[in-house]
Amino acid sequence: MLKDGFGRTIETLRVSITDRCNLKCLYCTINQDTVFLPKHRIMTYEEIMKISRILLDLGLSRIKLTGGEPLIRKDLPKLIEKLASLNEVKDLSLTTNGTMLTSFMAKILKEAGLHRLNISLDSLNPYTYRRITGGKLNDVLRGIDNAIESGFNPVKINTVLLKNINDSEIFDILNFAVEKSLTIRFIEEMPFSKTPYSGVSNDTVFSMLKPYLETDKVVKDDKSPGPAVTFKVKGSNAKIGFISPFSRPFCMKCNRIRLSTDGKILPCIATNKGVDILSMIRNHSPDQIIIDKIKESLMGKKLMHDGFKNPLKMNLLGG
């Protein structure tokens, strides 16, 4: 088992496989900074496999692919297939904005061995969706249906609420979850970009939704233990989760390590201090030296995030 300096077991690797995205969400770095990495600085699939292999040998067992928008990356199913074939990988998931998740792509991803899909959806109103993301609501709604029809279960939806933009839609989103038997997770906005829009505390969202939730029992997710505190919606198969880095920080239970698009290992979502593993791999450093550097980085993992004083760009780090 891989442990950090505070004895937390690190189980999950989050990989940002591309910094590019077809959307420009108001709360994402891409909205203000669209300078993308030159291609040669982005990890190849072989390099992602090599780094994953090292981390799996150290005891990790869950991998999440994110970005940027992972579906933009050419031949993504090939990477999924390779990762899914590794015995140590107990859980392989992907976070996408869903707008390019055609029925064909959803099926191919499933066949390649992807276990789970998380899809981001911030609004059910086409105008608001366009305002937040620059994209078309119908594209993501179709993507969600395609994911369900291809047999992904559960399909989890990520929603970031912004004051006076989409915070009037909390009950619409609850109804949508019930109608489609989905798990919706409200993620508190983290300050990655200097946006003038402020996020909504999950304490507020929880108090509004409480009457509709079975709050006496937190739903345990053994398949993918993560930071969400999740409740069943009364009388339905839907679930509502709360990911609350500010109102209920979960750093004490953090089980993640991150790999940025340019191959840096970072111990925390709020830091920009990473170890450049990609350069080491390209310079043919011995595995043991790479392992020592990864362990050193983990020893520097703080007990709590620092309030996102100086984070890396969200699209390089992955959400």
Contact stretch for ligand SAM (CB under 6 A) within 64-72, 74-82, 208-216, 224-232: 64-72
**Window 85-104: residues binding ligand SAM (CB under 6 A):** 95-97
**SS in 3 state form for 65-89?**
EEECCHHHCCCHHHHHHHHHCCCCC
Binding status of residue 152 toward ligand SAM by CB under 6 A: no
> What are the beta bridge partners of residue 18?
67
φ and ψ of 110, to 5 deg: -65, -45
SS3 177: helix
Among 12, 18, 52, 66, binds ligand SAM (CB under 6 A): 66
Could you say which of 76, 165, 228, 314 contacts ligand SAM (CB under 6 A)?
314
Task: Give the residue, chosen from 67, 143, 154, 311, that forms a contact with ligand SAM under the rule CB under 6 A.
Answer: 67
Contact code string over 18-37 relative to ligand SAM, x by CB under 6 A? ---x-----xx---------
Report the residue number, 11 or 69, with the smaller CB distance to ligand SAM: 69
- 167 CB contacts (<8 Å, ≥6 apart)? 161, 200
For the chain, the maximum distance between any two Cα atoms, rounded to a whole number of angstroms, is 57
List 76, 106, 155, 187, residue binding ligand SAM (CB under 6 A): 187
Which of the residues 122 through 141 are near ligand SAM (CB under 6 A)?
none
Rounded CA separation 262/44 (Å): 10
d(CA 245, CA 232): 21
Give the DSSP letter of residue 255. -
Site of interaction with ligand SAM (CB under 6 A): 21, 27-28, 66-67, 69, 95-97, 120, 158, 160, 187, 189-190, 192, 314, 318-319
